[in-house]
């Protein structure tokens, strides 16, 4: 009897403790998820900054998902109608609009119209300040204080991919990592990597040439995987040296890892816990371990061989950093290569859509290289190509946001920002602001970059301020190398199979890939090249007929029926002769 009473009492005590614990947990969650964010939002309301009303416990997440679902449904319907009325004029690019915001980020567009260029919203207990007012963006970009750090949102979700690397770290840890890695991306070192980039492109070029030859002179191809393989090969060669083939296997696993962490884990972000034992998380952490192991194997195999990975490791180790931390630093900072590949795909799509710019770039490459291999000096002279890439990055920046977090209370442009608030600057909104870029802001016009660099707050493809991407010089060299080689060998057209549908995963990328129709460049020779390669010469003139007659006379020495095509640009005439 007494034993039974003891059991009953013990059970009651346990139930009471469980109830007390549950109540405490509920009170804690209510305070963290609801009360604390409401206080922050109230502070912004006192400053006249509005935003959508959050719901418990997920904030505005339901509104965002609903808006995205509606936008995707509208896109699918638009594609269906376009296919139904398609008369076979595929590849013309008709209907392509270079503004992905209504489809990819529809909720931001609605809130910006409702609340202005600065507004708040919530994801669970995380408060965001969305900023697209130029003066505030400028002040944020000029801030060099370590009190303005990288946003911690998605840190738990992305932990297997980025770890504690330079993309996600803050404070002294970030400053230390940046100092180590910056020296490896100085301009003189990037110049020395161009030959490796040219070597990496050969597999792609050969594959496309063989495909064209096997298919009667034209091939339709989805270019994304080939471009991605090129980018992985470039980083493998520069990072891993002679072990680059093994290094390429690492990037295949990183691609899988990116897919695994591309969707936010809302519960992880709300609680701060790094791991929920669901299938996707288990896969991500297993891939993380595999990548870590492979990279460290390469480090050990490379011995004293000089490559980027070895240089960073030596710098980190000599900085009184524990070896384990140095290894983690290397692993975390080698897990990104996708952005450059996606930018290259967008750029080739735009060149296929705009043959006039494709011709200008091709002519420039032929003139600058003059039959010699691409090198760092020739890349610096390719102004038209640089403008095309800059315009591509304006219309299709890889990163949708510049994200920061107030690690202490801060003030920008008269706006007081409480500690812990995440600050998101929408890159596409800044890039498509007609007040900053003019009325043709949604059109592809590389000429806008011909005379001056854009203002600090208006152009953000590589971020801005103290956390500007260290690898932007490397990325530009990689892009210019690949595109100059492709344009010099192939004529690009949009394939009838191309579906224009930008989507936001980790970065903004083509949802269905980029489909192009490729043919070989015919053997055309400009007047400058004719003059350099023959002894006949010509008289430079702004009179088209004079140039044409001169070319015909000299061309007849080697061709009975020369095909000559002239283009007029203002008072200048460029004549091209088909040598085949």
* 26, part of any domain: no
User: Per the structure block, which two tokens stand in for 73?
Assistant: 């449904």
* 379, part of any domain: yes
Tokens 């000559």 belong to residue: 564
Starting at the edge strand found earlier in the chain, the sheet holding 515-520 runs: 219-222, 515-520, 490-494
* 211, part of any domain: yes
Starting at the edge strand found earlier in the chain, the sheet holding 524-526 runs: 524-526, 572-578, 563-569
Q: How far is 267 from 265, CA to CA, in rounded Å?
A: 6
148 DSSP β-pair partners: 406
Q: Give CA separation, 117 vs 104, 110, 268, 426, 439, in Å.
A: 18, 11, 30, 10, 19
Q: In this predicted model, what pLDDT tens digit does every residue of 378-408 receive, in sequence order?
A: 999 999 999 999 999 999 999 899 999 999 9
**Percent of the chain predicted with pLDDT > 90:** 43
* 174, part of any domain: yes
Q: In this predicted model, what pLDDT tens digit does every residue of 465-486 receive, in sequence order?
A: 777 888 888 899 999 999 999 9
* 454, part of any domain: yes
Closest Cα partner for 330 from 466, 177, 179? 177
* 492, part of any domain: yes
Structural domain that includes position 314: 132-520
* 529, part of any domain: no
Contact yes or no for 335/162 (Cβ under 8 A): yes
* 410, part of any domain: yes
What is the length of the chain?
580
User: Per the structure block, which two tokens stand in for 485?
Assistant: 């080689």
Q: In this predicted model, what pLDDT tens digit does every residue of 244-295 receive, in sequence order?
A: 677 777 777 777 777 776 665 555 555 555 555 566 667 777 777 887 787 7
- Read off the CATH number of the domain in which 320 is found: 1.10.630.10
Answer yes or no: is 369 a known binding residue: no
3-state class (DSSP) for residue 294: helix
Domain count, the chain: 1
The pLDDT tens digits along the chain (580 residues) read: 566 676 666 666 677 777 777 777 666 666 666 678 889 999 999 999 999 999 988 899 999 999 999 998 888 888 787 777 665 455 556 678 999 999 999 999 999 999 999 999 998 888 999 999 999 999 999 998 889 987 776 555 555 555 555 555 666 666 666 766 666 666 667 888 899 999 999 999 999 999 999 999 999 999 999 999 898 888 888 877 765 677 777 777 777 777 776 665 555 555 555 555 566 667 777 777 887 787 777 777 766 666 666 666 666 555 555 445 555 555 554 546 688 999 999 999 999 999 999 999 999 999 999 889 999 999 999 999 999 999 999 999 998 999 999 999 999 999 999 999 999 999 999 999 999 999 999 999 999 999 877 887 899 999 877 778 888 888 999 999 999 999 999 999 999 999 999 998 878 999 999 999 999 998 644 434 333 333 333 333 334 444 444 444 444 333 444 555 555 544 444 555 544 3
DSSP H/E element including 432: none
Pairing of strands 515-520, 219-222: antiparallel
């Amino acid at each position: 009897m007494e034993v039974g009473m003891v059991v009953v009492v013990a059970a009651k005590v346990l139930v009471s403790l469980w109830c007390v614990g549950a109540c405490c947990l509920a009170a804690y969650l209510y305070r963290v998820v609801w009360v604390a964010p409401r206080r922050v939002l109230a502070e912004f309301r006192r400053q006249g900054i509005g935003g959508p009303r959050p719901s418990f416990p997920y904030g505005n997440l339901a509104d965002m998902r609903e808006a995205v679902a509606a936008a995707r449904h509208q896109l699918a319907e638009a594609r269906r109608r376009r296919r139904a009325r398609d008369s076979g004029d595929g590849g013309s690019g008709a209907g392509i609009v270079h503004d992905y915001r209504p489809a990819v980020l529809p909720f931001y567009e609605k809130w910006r119209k409702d609340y202005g260029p600065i507004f708040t919203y919530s994801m669970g207990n995380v408060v965001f300040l969305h900023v697209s007012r130029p003066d505030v963006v400028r002040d944020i970009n000029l801030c060099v204080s370590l009190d303005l750090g990288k946003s911690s949102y998605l840190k738990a979700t992305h932990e297997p991919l980025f770890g504690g690397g330079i993309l996600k770290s803050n404070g002294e840890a970030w400053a230390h990592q940046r100092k180590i890695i910056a020296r490896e991306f100085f301009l003189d070192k990037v110049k020395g990597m161009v030959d490796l980039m040219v070597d990496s492109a050969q597999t792609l070029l050969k594959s496309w040439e063989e495909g064209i030859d096997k298919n009667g002179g034209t091939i339709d191809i989805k270019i994304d995987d080939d471009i991605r393989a090129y980018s992985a090969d470039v980083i493998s060669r520069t990072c891993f040296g002679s072990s680059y083939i093994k290094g390429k296997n690492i990037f295949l696993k990183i691609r899988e890892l990116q897919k695994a962490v591309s969707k936010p884990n809302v519960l992880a972000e709300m609680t701060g816990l790094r791991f929920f034992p669901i299938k996707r998380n288990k896969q991500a952490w297993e891939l993380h371990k595999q990548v870590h192991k492979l990279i460290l194997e390469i480090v050990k195999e490379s011995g004293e061989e000089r490559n980027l990975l070895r240089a960073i490791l030596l710098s980190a180790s000599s900085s009184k950093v524990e070896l384990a931390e140095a290894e983690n630093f290397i692993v975390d900072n080698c897990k990104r290569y996708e952005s450059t590949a996606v930018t290259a795909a967008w750029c080739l799509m735009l060149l296929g859509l705009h043959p006039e710019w494709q011709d200008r770039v091709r002519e420039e490459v032929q003139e600058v290289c003059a039959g010699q291999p691409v090198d760092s000096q020739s890349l610096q002279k390719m102004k038209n190509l640089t403008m095309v890439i800059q315009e591509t990055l304006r219309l299709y920046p890889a990163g949708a946001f510049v994200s920061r977090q107030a690690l202490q209370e801060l003030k920008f442009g008269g706006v007081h920002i409480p500690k812990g608030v995440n600050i998101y600057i929408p890159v596409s909104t800044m890039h498509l602001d007609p007040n900053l870029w003019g009325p043709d802001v949604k059109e592809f016009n590389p000429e806008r970059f011909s005379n001056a660099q854009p203002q600090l707050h208006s152009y953000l493809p590589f971020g801005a301020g103290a956390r500007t991407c260290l690898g932007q010089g490397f990325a530009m060299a990689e892009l210019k190398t690949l595109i100059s080689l492709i344009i010099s060998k192939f004529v690009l057209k949009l394939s009838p199979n191309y579906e224009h549908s930008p989507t936001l995963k980790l970065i903004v990328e083509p949802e269905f890939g980029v489909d192009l129709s490729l043919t070989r460049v015919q053997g055309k020779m400009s007047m400058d090249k004719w003059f350099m390669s023959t002894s006949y010469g010509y008289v430079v003139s702004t009179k088209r007929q004079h140039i044409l007659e001169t070319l015909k006379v000299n061309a007849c020495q080697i061709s009975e029926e020369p095909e000559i095509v002239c283009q007029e640009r203002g008072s200048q005439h460029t004549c091209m002769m088909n040598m085949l």
